[in-house]
């Protein structure tokens, strides 16, 4: 029996009919040199999303489709974010991996990164995973499958969909805004942290915990 492949156009129409209307998500325009450099020569993820070639799917609608097994979810976050919280059954291939180069120049870059970014956000110094596309092909050999690509805030997954589209995946979706835009209860979650907080680390994580604690105390009083 021939395989039947749905696509994100039909999924979008179905969700619009039965749930809420899916509106295009316009990602913020902000400079990110490592991510921009990772795009390569293909069309940017932003261009593909704005043109409708790749569908932007908000977390709530994505969770509904995932529960009905109408698509596969590909998590492209690094391993340390996924360990904190993840969607059960989701596929995982990291777009960025920890940079293990210890040359003097790289060590200097790591020191600057930690001082300006890592200390506050907890983000590790990373490099693009050169095997990303081939690893995805190993996990998802069927390039016609409905594949929703997700990360923490939507930027890394925007790069990922560009690379996968260039590699011949033609039924791609993008989790609009990433997991940080998800609300409690949207997705089933494994791990010790809320899905929308898994990207947060460093000093900012402890401020978040303190704020959550104060909000809980205010509610109970």
Residue position matching structure tokens 């316009």: 26
β-partners of residue 72 are 147
- Strand-strand pairing, 91-92 and 72-75: parallel
Query: Taking CA 194 as the corner, what is the angle to CA 30 and CA 74, rounded to the nearest 5 degrees?
Result: 65
Which ranges in 72-187 belong to alpha helices (H)?
A: 79-84, 104-113, 119-121, 132-139, 155-166
9 Cβ contact partners less than 8 Å away, ≥ 6 residues apart: 55
Phi, psi torsion values for 72, nearest 5 degrees: -110, 140
Instruction: Give the torsion through C-alpha atoms of 155, 82, 205, 150, to 10 deg.
Output: 20
- What are the structure tokens assigned to 21, written together? 């209307």
Which is catalytic among the residues 22, 63, 85, 151? 151
- Catalytic (active site) residue 188: no
Catalytic positions are 151
């Amino acid at each position: 029996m021939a395989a039947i492949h749905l696509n994100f156009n039909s999924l979008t129409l179905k969700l619009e009919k039965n749930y809420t209307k899916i509106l295009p998500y316009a990602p913020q325009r902000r400079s990110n040199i490592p991510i921009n450099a990772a795009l390569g020569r293909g069309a940017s993820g932003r261009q593909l999303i704005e043109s409708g070639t790749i569908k932007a799917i908000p977390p709530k609608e994505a969770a509904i489709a995932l529960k009905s097994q109408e698509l596969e979810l590909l998590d492209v976050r690094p391993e340390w974010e996924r360990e904190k919280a993840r969607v059960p059954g989701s596929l995982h291939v990291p777009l960025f991996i920890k940079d293990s180069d210890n040359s003097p120049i790289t060590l200097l870059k790591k020191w600057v990164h930690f001082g300006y970014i890592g200390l506050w956000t907890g983000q590790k110094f990373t490099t693009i995973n050169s095997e990303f596309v081939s690893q995805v092909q190993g996990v998802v050999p069927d390039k016609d499958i409905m594949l929703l690509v997700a990360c923490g805030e939507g930027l890394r997954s925007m790069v990922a969909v560009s690379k996968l589209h260039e590699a011949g995946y033609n039924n791609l979706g993008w989790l609009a805004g990433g997991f940080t835009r998800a609300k409690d209860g949207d997705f089933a979650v494994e791990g010790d942290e809320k899905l929308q907080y898994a990207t947060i680390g460093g000093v900012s994580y402890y401020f978040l915990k303190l704020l959550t604690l104060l909000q809980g105390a205010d509610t109970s009083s």
